[in-house]
Amino acid sequence: MTVGFELREWRPEDAPSITRYADDPQVAANLRDIFPAPCHLSDAREFIQSCMAADEGQAIFRAISVNGQAVGSIALTRGTDVYRRSAELGYWLGREFWGRGIMPAAVEEMCRLGFHRWDIVRIFAEPYAHNAASRRVLEKAGFHLEGVMARGVVKNGQLHDYCMYAKLK
């Protein structure tokens, strides 16, 4: 059952909420190293500022909001040069909201937005192969597995496989 949520623009007052939900080792374990772990209030403020300053012709950042509180993030980043008809999707959600159907619906909504706003034909995501929950999110949202990149990423000093998922317009 999907909990009610909205995708909305970031606001400076989201920083305490983001700190609460992002400062979780289980969340950070499945994200890129650029994601601060631990996540402090100053990190959240910096993140929100960068989201608010982004050129929406190149990147779309949205807060995932439940009952007015930012509990996660979702973003599309447009490719450049020969990749200009593609965009990369990234997301995370506070652990207490996992398993409630929020993320597949948020991914579908963000894809509709990206395909509508930009002249793109492909949206892709690269979850770690061991992140079964994120892979299910993508599959529920209509993404297809294109391949597994063996030992393609380093996280916490260890090599891991990652997957390439894509959704075509």
Beta-strand pair 86-93/122-125: parallel
pLDDT above 80 for 2? no
Cβ-Cβ contacts under 8 Å for 31 (sequence gap 6 or more): 37, 92
Across the chain, mean pLDDT equals 96
Strand 144-155, strand 59-66: pairing = unpaired
Residues shown for the chain: 169
The mean per-residue pLDDT over the stretch 16-27 comes to 94
Query: Residue 106 phi/psi, 5° resolution?
Result: -65, -40
pLDDT at 1: 53
The pLDDT value recorded for residue 4 is: 92
- Please compute the mean of the pLDDT values over residues 6-17 and round it to a whole number: 98
Give the model confidence (pLDDT) of 38-57 as tens digits. Answer: 999 999 999 999 999 999 99
Specify the pLDDT at position 15: 97
The predicted pLDDT at position 37 comes to 86
| Residue 162 · residue 115 · CB < 8 Å | no
Distance CA 154, CA 146 (A): 21
φ, ψ (nearest 5 deg) of residue 168:
-105, 150
Q: What pTM, to 2 d.p., does this model score?
A: 0.95
HSE, CB side, 13 Å, CA atoms: give it for residue 44.
Answer: 23
Each residue's pLDDT tens digit, 63-122: 999 999 999 999 999 999 999 999 999 999 999 999 999 999 999 999 999 999 999 999
Burial class (CB in 10 A: 0-12, 13-18, 19+), 37: middle
Domains (ranges, CATH) in the chain?
A: 6-124 (3.40.630.30)
pLDDT in tens, 126-148: 999 999 999 999 999 999 999 99
